[in-house]
Every structure is written in C-alpha cells, then in structure tokens.
Amino acid sequence: MKKKIGWIGTGVMGSSMCSHILKEGYEIFVYNRTKSKAQELLDNGANWCDNSKQVAENSDIIFTIVGFPKDVEKVYLGESGVLQGVTSGNIIVDMTTSNPSLAEKIYKEAKKKNVSSLDAPVSGGDTGAKNGTLAIMIGGDEATYNEVLPLFELMGKNIKLLGNAGAGQHCKMSNQIHIATTMIGVVESLLYAYKAGLDLDEMIDVIGKGAAASWSINNLGRRIVKKNFDPGFFIKHFVKDMRIALEEAKRMNLSLPGLALAYQFYIAAMGQGLENLGTQGLYKVLAQMNGISV
C-alpha cells in the first residue's frame, strides 16, 4: 500500500513538485500559509490541513519547501510544527534551501522521536520543478534516502546522497555560490552585446552552445531578452541563500570575494524594491548603472 504523503509549502516550486507525486496516485495532505496557492492541488484531490502538525498527523512521509530558515524552524520545531505531530517511523524531508546547522538540529530532534530526517534542497527553478528535472542534493542516512528515492525520482533527474545531515545544504550552497557569480557574467554579456548592437537571441544561440554555455544564459538570458522578470526563483530568497553561504564561509575562514560582490549587487536590487522578481532581475540593476532603460 502506498504511503501517505504530507506536503508543506505550495509556492512557485512546491506546487509543481507536489503535483508530480499527486499524479502517481498518492494520498496527499497539504498545508500552506496562503490556502489559495494550494487550490490547484486541492482541486486535483489533495487534502487540506490547517497547520503543519496536522499534516504530520496524517502522513507517513512529510516534505517541506518554504521560504527562509526561520520558516523551516517554525514548521518543524514550532508549537504546531511537524515534530509535534509525527509518530515513530515517519520520515521528514526538508527541500528548502536553509542553514546546514538547522538541518543537523532537525535531524537530532527527529531522532529523539524515532523519526528519520533528510535535508534535500533542489536546483532547477520553476522550469525544473514543472518538468520533474530538478537536481536534488541530499544529506542524511542512506536507508532513509533509499526509501524516499522513488518519490525524489518523480521530481528530479539528478539525485545524489552527499553525506550526513547538512550535506545536502552544503552542496546547495556550492550551487548558489556558482550561480551568483555566473549571473553577473550573464547580465554583463547581455549588456555588452546590446551596446554593440547585436541581436541578443542570436548571441545566446552562439555562446550558449560553446565554452560559455550555462543553464543561466540559456534559460534566464532568454527571459531577460523577452523582458520577463517573473520569478522562477525570487531575488529575496537568493539573497537569503547567499547570506547563508557567506556565514558558512566565514565560519570556515574562507574568503569568497566573488560571492560577496554578487551579494552586494542583489542587495542593491532589494533596495530598489525588486525582491519579488526572479534572479534575472539583476539585469535591471546593472542596466540602470549603465544608463540603459529596461
């Protein structure tokens, strides 16, 4: 018999990720702070719960993907949180990008209740979530990973257990560090091509297949050309991720000047009120610095 699935967080990515599991015939119990964002899942057969604890009380495996570490802490450790509703043998899986230390704390608290925990942040944006092609980076016990793997395979294509609790979050930090400086390159290359009078789509056609190829230029670069700054991943969440990475780097006595620069550019975007745009909204910041209207 299929296990009952809990899902907390039905935003830009969570809704699509949950839908892949729902389509496979699993009984799903969902909760989101804004109920309307879960409506499509509810219309397709998911069950509504009034809080995180209620989700856990009705589920065998509980997935979460929320906004910030403080949200993760509340969802799991709050008075109406997941760990107040779990029973022995349950599995909890946090897919939020969050602090590695918090992942370790949740793992230890879950163990006290004979509950298994995985941290499993993802990469691939809204497109990867919709297409079920996400990269999923996982920390936790191998036996738990193997049990949840068939569900991960409904959401992603590049799935890897990287070590103990917190390892998935550390891998996601590496991912975000790489993307942060890559986005500067994407934006600056587009601005240069614009000033040089090139057709931007044609330019991407060429460099997007060569040594400069990246997911960011081929996907977010295309969105920039179309002046589509809708969020596949919010600037405000990316700033959170970079802050976590900088804090972890400081703890490890590691200097990352490229990340620090990208962080400052994105802080400028926040200062301009662009926090709810997608990460490609960085184009607006650097375009304005160069007197280019968007």
Q: What percent of the chain has pLDDT over 70?
A: 100
So what's the pLDDT on residue 192? 98
So what's the pLDDT on residue 294? 87
Reported as a single tens digit per residue, the pLDDT across 137-157 is 999 999 999 999 999 999 999
C-alpha distances out from residue 172 to 6, 74, 112, 176, 178, Å: 23, 21, 27, 6, 10
Q: What percent of the chain has pLDDT over 90?
A: 98
Reported as a single tens digit per residue, the pLDDT across 201-231 is 999 999 999 999 999 999 999 999 999 999 9
Asked if pLDDT for residue 17 goes beyond 90, the answer is yes
Domains with residue ranges and CATH for the chain: 5-164 (3.40.50.720), 170-289 (1.10.1040.10)
* Residues with catalytic function: 172
Chain centre to alpha carbon of residue 104: 18
> Residue 161, SS3?
strand
So what's the pLDDT on residue 94? 98
Among 4, 96, 104, CA closest to 57: 4
- The mean predicted confidence, pLDDT, of the chain is 97
Q: Which amino acid is at 11?
A: G
So what's the pLDDT on residue 12? 87
CA distance 175 to 187: 18
CA distance 11 to 3: 23
Among 268, 211, 201, 213, CA closest to 239: 268
